[in-house]
A and B are shown apart, each in its own frame.
Chain A
Amino acid sequence: MLTLIKRESQSLCLYLALPGLASIILAILFYLEIARRHQFSPYSPISNSMYEFFWVIAFCLPPLCAGMGLYQMLADRTHKISAFLLTHATTRSRIFLARLAVGLIAVLLLSLFWPAIFAFLINKYPRAIPGAMEFFMPRLIILTILNLTCYSLGILLGLYRNIRIALSAGIFLTAILITLIAIKGFTLTPAILLLLIAAAITRTWQKFLTRPL
């Protein structure tokens, strides 16, 4: 199992390299911007910048997570990775579990990076962003669940034979979820998203166990 997890991590590193780097650059820019504003007017609220950054993240992360799921499954099919692995001492369930575990951890790392950055800034400049913790944290949690939902839909759609349909459906579903958030705000019930995650993962697992490799 460890070998499989290691292989999946290495494979996903290629995909995560660019967004990871982009996140770090964005976080540094974010920090510099807040610091700059704070330097000029330490007592005026600078939450507008945080909102802007928050919305950038909210629009960028879900498609990235859906893409990660799609990438895992499409790369598997293109390179016949599971077909090769299955001719060794492993099972479909183990291959899937390793892939899912690595994917979920990557989504969590990518998602929780931002609450960490926000928490750091809010701690550093508490007066500059009054009530920020109460405002951002629940939204970032919902965003994390949304990212997990998009990832789950991504791995499910990645199993479909037609790459164009898989990509189009991925973009469409992610757009719907983001639009829902944009319209309704972050009042979307997490339970609905969690239900979606469970349904998508169960269906992917069932499909992965039975599809020809």
Chain B
Amino acid sequence: MTENAVQIDNLVKYFDGRCVLDGIDLQIPPGCIYGLLGRNGSGKTTIIRILLGLDSPTRGQTLLFDRNSLQLSAHDRSRIGYVAEGHHLIQHYPVAKLIKLARGLAPHWDAELFDHLINTFRLPLDRKVKKLSTGMRAQLNLALALAANPELLILDDPTLGLDTIVRRQFLELAIDLIQKQGRTILFSSHILSDVERIADRIGILLAGKLVVDCPLDQLKNRVKKIRLIFPQSAPTDLHLTDIVSQQYDNHELILTVANWNQQKQNYLQTYNPTSITEIPLSLEDIFIECTNPNPATLTIEPQGDQPC
């Protein structure tokens, strides 16, 4: 049996009596690029912190390479690279000292790659980390994580605060890494075009629950936005399951439906609309629909066992 790079079983986390994560189950096989999405405060960073053993779960467990996150050995940790939201490096250290420290801790340090990255980013080695710009800190954080040659790279909103050029550079590096065989990436970001570009599986967190967990293509096929035009007033009592949102405008009805299939399309035909057109949805549109404050219903059921 192959080991999962990431496995989360019934993860529950409370902060001061407030439920932040409510029974999350997730598996990420090796080689998968997983985009974890959610609004601010939805629990993305908490999941990542628990995965890395920086925080403990209230209930449930998380495993990295089939090893409990709270019992990861130094060898297990050497297989993981992490780029944190806000880039939590040791701020009062000069860059060169921080690099020396990270190099001393990494058993598989790729000096060639690191030198290449440092030269590409033109990072000033004598400056203190806190004196670097946000972009430079992100680049340093990424360079340190990549040079350790990780099998699993966890990126927690790494492009936050970066300009377009640096963001693009950052993504290209991530794509380079992906092309190396067997690398797994867990990627959380608010810039959905970035996620759409590299992820092959998507998870969406909503109110502490993982409401979507499926391949990106499947998500796009399963969530549809449909415009229906009726000869008379649009019906208000549609008995259709999985409606995420609906907007009425006299003769027009715009529906967003999860778990879309032929059966649902046939059912809508029974209302005799004059036209049914599909409005194309980007990942960002799907995300906005899915994280609507009052979604009528939302759980995207994966079709069969489809790995990345």
Residues of A within 8 A of B (CB): 2-4, 6-7, 79-81, 83-92, 94, 210, 212-213
* Closest Cβ neighbor of B50 among chain A residues: A212
Q: Which of A7, A90, A91, A213 contacts B54 (CB 8 A)?
A: A213
Task: Give the interface SS of chain B, mostly helix, strand, loop or mixed.
Answer: loop
Smallest Cβ distance from B105 to chain A, in angstroms? Answer: 4
Is there contact, CB below 8 Å, between A210 and B77? Answer: no
* Closest Cβ neighbor of A209 among chain B residues: B70
* Closest Cβ neighbor of B79 among chain A residues: A89
The 8 A CB mask of B42-60 against A (1 = contact, 0 = none) is 0000000100111110000
Check: B84 CB closer than 8 A to any chain A CB. Answer: yes
Segment with Cβ contacts to A, from B85-93, B274-282, B283-291:
B85-93
A6 to B97, CA, bound (A): 12
Which residues of A lie under 8 Å from residue B263 when comparing CB positions? Answer: none
A-B contact pairs, 28 of them (CB 8 A): A3-B105, A4-B105, A6-B104, A7-B101, A79-B92, A80-B88, A81-B90, A83-B54, A83-B88, A86-B54, A86-B77, A87-B77, A87-B82, A87-B84, A88-B77, A88-B78, A88-B106, A89-B77, A89-B105, A89-B106, A89-B107, A90-B105, A91-B77, A94-B74, A212-B49, A212-B54, A212-B55, A212-B56
Which residues of B lie under 8 Å from residue A94 when comparing CB positions? Answer: 74
Which residues of B lie under 8 Å from residue A84 when comparing CB positions? Answer: 88-90
Check: B73 CB closer than 8 A to any chain A CB. Answer: yes
Give the interface size bracket for B toward A.
20 to 34
Which residues of B lie under 8 Å from residue A92 when comparing CB positions? Answer: 53
Q: Which of A3, A81, A87 contacts B52 (CB 8 A)?
A: A87
Residues of B within 8 A of A (CB): 49, 52-56, 72-75, 77-78, 80, 82, 84, 88-92, 101-102, 104-107, 145, 148
Which residues of B lie under 8 Å from residue A79 when comparing CB positions? Answer: 90-92
Which residues of A lie under 8 Å from residue B89 when comparing CB positions? Answer: 84
Which residues of B lie under 8 Å from residue A85 when comparing CB positions? Answer: 105
Is there contact, CB below 8 Å, between B56 and A91? Answer: no
* Closest Cβ neighbor of B130 among chain A residues: A79
Q: Which of B74, B84, B148 has the most A CB atoms < 10 Å from its CB?
A: B74
A213 to B106, CA, bound (A): 20
Smallest Cβ distance from A12 to chain B, in angstroms? Answer: 15
Smallest Cβ distance from A186 to chain B, in angstroms? Answer: 41
Which residues of B lie under 8 Å from residue A6 when comparing CB positions? Answer: 104
Which residues of B lie under 8 Å from residue A88 when comparing CB positions? Answer: 77-78, 102, 105-106, 148
A85 to B55, CA, bound (A): 14
Q: Which of A6, A7, A92 has the most B CB atoms < 10 Å from its CB?
A: A7
* Closest Cβ neighbor of A87 among chain B residues: B82
Q: A79-B92, A210-B56 are in contact. List 8 more A-B contacts (CB 8 A).
A: A3-B101, A6-B104, A79-B90, A84-B90, A87-B145, A88-B77, A89-B105, A212-B49
Which residues of A lie under 8 Å from residue B88 when comparing CB positions? Answer: 80, 83-84
A210 to B69, CA, bound (A): 12
Q: Which of A84, A88, A94, A213 has the most B CB atoms < 10 Å from its CB?
A: A88
Which A-B residue pairs are the 3 nearest by beta carbons?
A: A3-B104, A89-B78, A88-B105
Smallest Cβ distance from A200 to chain B, in angstroms? Answer: 23
Smallest Cβ distance from B65 to chain A, in angstroms? Answer: 13
Is there contact, CB below 8 Å, between B49 and A86? Answer: no
Is there contact, CB below 8 Å, between A89 and B74? Answer: yes
Which residues of A lie under 8 Å from residue B106 when comparing CB positions? Answer: 88-89
* Closest Cβ neighbor of A4 among chain B residues: B105
Is there contact, CB below 8 Å, between A89 and B82? Answer: no
Which residues of B lie under 8 Å from residue A80 when comparing CB positions? Answer: 88, 90
A85 to B104, CA, bound (A): 11
